[in-house]
Amino acid sequence: MLGLEDGKARFTKKVGLLAKAFALCVPDERAMAIKDELAFFQAVKARLAKFERGEGKSKEEMDSAIRQLVDEAVVSDQVLDIFDAAGIKKPDISILSDEFMEEIQGMQRRNLALELLKKILNDEIRTRSRKNLVQSRALSEMLENAIKRYQNNLLSAAEIIEELIELAKEIKAADQRGENLKLTEDELAFYDALEVNDGAVQVLGDEQLREIARELVDKVKKNATIDWTVKESVRSKLKVIVKRILRKYGYPPGKQASATETILKQAELLADSWAE
């Protein structure tokens, strides 16, 4: 088996030869067909060169960096556009539509379909993490668990793609919940922070929980200041307000402490947008 250094040297040499051959053959169609793969190999070569210049990097650190690059660089805009590589026109706001998911499901290159789904879902969850703490956390855990099961060979490529498509449907459905519950985006975030899936909390009923969420947004928003997240006195005042509202509506006493902390974290998340 080749050592790490021998393998790096041979890889670097072959990428260099491939780049020269590509330059001589452009714009031949056969050359253009491998431009994305070449861009990826050149990115790996550049990362290897970076580590060669570094000091104190262990073999494990370099191997880890290479694995990370292989896992993630394929979805980096600087290396290649994964939508172009997959032969899919860049989607608009209907990115989670059933039609678009079917297009991904029908892709022959399973590895690209998987990376494309991972990128889409990560981006969608990241967007929601700026608004809804509980929802984004739950979706993120679902994505991580699915990927881990695939990495542990518990799911095939086809099965992980199916599972991620189902997660995309979950995200799409989550966007409709606020409208169905007649709650604003902020109110829905506080509604979720009330641990509404807990059996003890569910006895209050949707209408009661919606009222709690609306009052939380109204009261917390009125009492929040730009720097409340770093002032203990302001945070303490908000904590009292939240507990008072929960008691007012008969929120289960045994659940109040954890709900209060989650609600305050949710408020911190929205503090900046409220201050604008």
Per-residue model confidence (pLDDT) at position 172: 83
Cα separation of 27 and 37, whole Å? 16
Predicted confidence (pLDDT) at residue 57 exceeds the cutoff of 60: no
Instruction: Determine the 3-state secondary structure of 77 from DSSP.
Output: coil
Average pLDDT over residues 166-195: 90
Cα separation of 236 and 241, whole Å? 9
Instruction: Determine the 3-state secondary structure of 158 from DSSP.
Output: helix
Predicted confidence (pLDDT) at residue 100 exceeds the cutoff of 60: yes
Would 86 be classed as within a structural domain? no
Would 88 be classed as within a structural domain? no
Would 166 be classed as within a structural domain? yes
| Pair (177, 204) in one structural domain | no
Per-residue model confidence (pLDDT) at position 18: 72
Decide which of 181, 207, 223 is a domain's last residue.
181
Per-residue model confidence (pLDDT) at position 1: 44
Decide which of 44, 79, 114 is a domain's last residue.
79
Residue type, 179: E
Would 138 be classed as within a structural domain? yes
Return the minimum-mean-pLDDT range out of 70-79, 191-200, 254-263.
70-79
Mean pLDDT of the chain: 76
pLDDT tens digit sequence for 108-165: 777 777 888 888 888 888 888 889 999 999 999 999 999 999 889 888 888 888 888 8
Cα separation of 124 and 193, whole Å? 20
* pLDDT, greater one: 7 or 168: 168
Residue 32 has a CB neighbour count (10 Å cut-off) of 12
Predicted confidence (pLDDT) at residue 75 exceeds the cutoff of 60: no
| Pair (177, 191) in one structural domain | no
Three-state SS annotation for 100-136 = HHHHHHCCCCHHHHHHHHHHHHHHHHHHHCCCCHHHH
* pLDDT, greater one: 87 or 99: 99
- In this structure, the dihedral spanned by the alpha carbons of residues 144, 78, 107 and 30, taken in order and rounded to 10 degrees, is -150
Q: Which domain holds residue 39?
A: 4-79
| Pair (149, 218) in one structural domain | no
* pLDDT, greater one: 59 or 206: 206
Per-residue model confidence (pLDDT) at position 5: 62
Per-residue model confidence (pLDDT) at position 85: 53
| Pair (170, 191) in one structural domain | no
Predicted confidence (pLDDT) at residue 206 exceeds the cutoff of 50: yes
| Pair (102, 73) in one structural domain | no
Q: Where are the alpha helices (DSSP H) in the chain?
A: 4-25, 29-32, 35-53, 59-72, 82-85, 98-105, 110-128, 133-151, 157-181, 185-193, 199-202, 206-223, 232-248, 253-275
What distances in angstroms separate CA 224 from CA 5, 19, 133, 213, one per listed residue? 57, 58, 18, 16
Would 264 be classed as within a structural domain? yes
Number of domains in the chain: 3
Predicted confidence (pLDDT) at residue 87 exceeds the cutoff of 70: no
Burial class (CB in 10 A: 0-12, 13-18, 19+), 168: buried
| Pair (166, 202) in one structural domain | no
Confidence band for 35, pLDDT divided at 50, 70 and 90: low
| Pair (189, 271) in one structural domain | yes
Predicted confidence (pLDDT) at residue 211 exceeds the cutoff of 50: yes
Q: Between the ranges 71-85, 132-146, 259-273, where is the mean pLDDT highest?
A: 132-146
Residue 34 has a CB neighbour count (10 Å cut-off) of 14
Per-residue model confidence (pLDDT) at position 120: 83
What distances in angstroms separate CA 192 from CA 189, 259, 268, one per listed residue? 5, 10, 15
Decide which of 181, 211, 235 is a domain's last residue.
181
Predicted confidence (pLDDT) at residue 246 exceeds the cutoff of 60: yes
Would 85 be classed as within a structural domain? no
| Pair (167, 194) in one structural domain | no
